[in-house]
Amino acid sequence: MTETLSIAYSPCPNDTFVFHAWSHGLIEGAPRIEVTHADIDVTNNLVREGGLDVMKISYAALPEALDEYVLLPCGGALGRGCGPLVLTGPGGADDESSGPDLAGKTVAVPSLKSTAYLLFQRWAQDQVTGGVGGLGEIRVLPFHEIMPAVRDGLVDAGLVIHEARFTYPDFGLRRLADLGDWWESVTGAPIPLGAIVARRALGPERIAEISRVVRASVDYAFANPEASRDYVMEQAQELDPEVAKAHIALYVNEFTRDLGPEGYAAVRRLLGDTLPEGTVLELA
List active site positions: 162
Rounded Cα–Cα distance for residues 45 and 37 (Å): 14
Rounded Cα–Cα distance for residues 87 and 80 (Å): 19
By CB atoms closer than 10 A (0-12, 13-18, 19+), residue 60 is buried
Rounded Cα–Cα distance for residues 40 and 38 (Å): 6
Contact between residue 84 and residue 118 where contact means Cβ atoms under 8 Å apart: no
Cβ neighbors of 273 (< 8 A, separation 6 or more) are none
Contact between residue 40 and residue 68 where contact means Cβ atoms under 8 Å apart: no
Rounded Cα–Cα distance for residues 28 and 145 (Å): 41
